[in-house]
Amino acid sequence: MHTLARGLSRIPAQGFASLIVIGLVVLALAAIGAGWYGTRQATLPTHTDAVATSTSNATATTAPNNQTTTAPSSAAGPSVAIDQSSLTSASGNPTISGTALVSGDINVQIKSVGGTELAGSADTSVQAGARWSVSFVDGPYFRTLPPGSYPLNVFGPNNTETSATLTVAGATKTQTYTNAQYGFSFEYPPDALLATSAFASKPFAIDPVVSVQLRTDQVQTEGYLTVTVESGPGECLGGPVGTPQVTIGGMTFNKFDESRYEAGVSAEGIMREYKTVHNGYCYDIALTSFPSACVNSGCTDPRWSAATEAVLLGKLDQIAQSFRFTN
């Protein structure tokens, strides 16, 4: 201590003043650097694929009864209200909207039922009474949500958290085709390709009244359901003894199954037909499943499997089972 005191005593007063100035400059630069770094960190973008907007021409409302809001004891009440209509989305890219009850930042978070965060928006600054909305779009950090229910949280000013349930509705299950001329109808999935003309490019021996085309993601396997109507009983009454019969829509049909496989090597397709006579006409519902790349050429690629085509034939059969006569 005495040695240090003696060393300091040898420094002139002017030297002390210089040391003090240098120290103050160092401290000032450190403070400025810390402030810049904090500002830099606060302005870094949040990784999100949510687009947020806000407007200020709305009247503040209270939170609906089916939304739960939690807040610390110091908060006066809920800080946001979520539009009930935005909690049901027809697509997997929902837009959540509502009204800010107090001024501040809000962000929206969507979770899985198990609690895993699926999407989160960046903070959006809103004024009291302003309308806000957050749209979730496909991108690196968000994928379209499949149909289902998802816990949703809106974090608002005053450290409040408003919880609700987002419902993503599924696509329409089926569409209905009706033929007034021949008096029948059936249901088919919305992603199927339905045609009532221009059959020249289709692999049909006889032009049908209507066709439905389905495809799978597996090596271009595709299938068709066709309805052919001919005057008179025709082939509908044919078939070997013991031909199985099934009931579809209250009518009895003869059922024919055919496989064009040879020892599981030549995968050229499988076929099923349902035939019946109604009002003097022969109705033939034909189901065909085959690898599209092998049409008229044969195919020995082991990926063309009977199992793959059988799955597609099953989907076509679901359409056939919905067949009904309307007259």
Cα–Cα distance measured from residue 99 to residue 117, given in angstroms and rounded to the nearest whole number = 24
Q: Are 75 and 159 in contact (CB under 8 A)?
A: yes
How is residue 19 annotated by DSSP?
H
Closest to 68 (Cα-Cα) out of 86, 54, 58, 80? 80
In this prediction, residue 47 has a pLDDT band, given cuts at 50, 70 and 90, of very low
Q: Are 163 and 82 in contact (CB under 8 A)?
A: no
Q: How high does pLDDT run on average in the chain?
A: 73
Mean predicted confidence (pLDDT) in 199-214: 82
In this prediction, residue 147 has a pLDDT band, given cuts at 50, 70 and 90, of confident
Cα–Cα distance measured from residue 105 to residue 82, given in angstroms and rounded to the nearest whole number = 15
The number of C-alpha atoms within 13 Å of 292 and in the hemisphere containing its C-beta is: 15
Number of CB atoms found within 10 A of residue 85's CB: 8
Cα–Cα distance measured from residue 287 to residue 317, given in angstroms and rounded to the nearest whole number = 7
Q: Are 99 and 64 in contact (CB under 8 A)?
A: no
In this prediction, residue 248 has a pLDDT band, given cuts at 50, 70 and 90, of very high
Closest to 244 (Cα-Cα) out of 236, 235, 253? 253
The number of C-alpha atoms within 13 Å of 188 and in the hemisphere containing its C-beta is: 19
Cα–Cα distance measured from residue 158 to residue 155, given in angstroms and rounded to the nearest whole number = 9
Cα–Cα distance measured from residue 120 to residue 105, given in angstroms and rounded to the nearest whole number = 14
The pLDDT, as a whole number, for residue 305 is 57
Which comes out higher in pLDDT, residue 141 or 214? Answer: 214
Cα–Cα distance measured from residue 256 to residue 275, given in angstroms and rounded to the nearest whole number = 8
The helix/strand/coil state of 279 is coil
CA 270 to chain centre: 32
The pLDDT, as a whole number, for residue 142 is 74
Mean predicted confidence (pLDDT) in 257-277: 68
Backbone phi, then psi, for 71, in 5-degree steps?
-155, 155
Q: Tally DSSP H helices, then E strands, for the chain.
A: 3, 21
Cα–Cα distance measured from residue 229 to residue 213, given in angstroms and rounded to the nearest whole number = 18
The DSSP annotation for 220-248 comes to: TEEEEEEEEEEESSGGGG-S-TT--EEEE
- The domains located in the chain, with CATH, are 50-168 (2.60.40.1930), 175-325 (2.60.120.1690)
- For residue range 62-120, what is the model confidence (pLDDT) as tens digits? 344 445 555 444 445 678 899 999 999 988 889 999 999 999 999 999 988 777 788 88
Quote the percentage of the chain above a pLDDT of 90: 33
The pLDDT, as a whole number, for residue 26 is 54
Non-local (6+) Cβ contacts of 104 within 8 A are: 79, 125, 126, 156, 157, 158
First vs last C-alpha separation in the chain? 114
The pLDDT, as a whole number, for residue 320 is 95
